[in-house]
């Protein structure tokens, strides 16, 4: 994390944007007091494709069978 004053932020804005884009958090201060935070924009996760795991996940034949009572009791404690 890096702190800069407003004058420095205005003078070196392009460089600060580049640093923020690289993952650095920059605090902009006025008279030594933080007033703003420059942070990188989070990238959107890759677009999911429904059904892309089809055939890769196998469930046992008794997957939907009710759990034994002793295990169910553990969940209810």
Cβ-contact 30, 8 below 8 angstroms: no
Task: Look at residue 13 and tell me whether its pLDDT is greater than 90.
Answer: yes
Task: Look at residue 77 and tell me whether its pLDDT is greater than 80.
Answer: no
Give SS3 for 18. Answer: helix
pLDDT at 12: 96
CA distance 3 to 36: 10
CA distance 24 to 18: 9
Give SS3 for 52. Answer: coil
CA distance 30 to 8: 11
- The domains found in the chain, sorted by start residue, are 2-38 (3.40.1620.10)
Chain segment 17-75, per-residue pLDDT in tens: 999 999 999 999 999 999 999 999 888 888 889 998 899 999 999 999 999 999 999 98
């Amino acid at each position: 994390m890096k702190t800069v004053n407003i004058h420095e932020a205005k003078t070196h804005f392009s460089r600060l944007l580049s640093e923020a884009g690289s993952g650095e958090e920059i605090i902009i201060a006025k008279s030594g007091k933080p007033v703003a935070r420059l942070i990188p924009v989070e990238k959107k996760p890759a677009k999911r494709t429904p059904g892309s795991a089809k055939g890769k996940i196998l469930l046992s034949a008794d997957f939907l069978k009710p759990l034994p009572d002793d295990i169910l009791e553990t969940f209810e404690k």
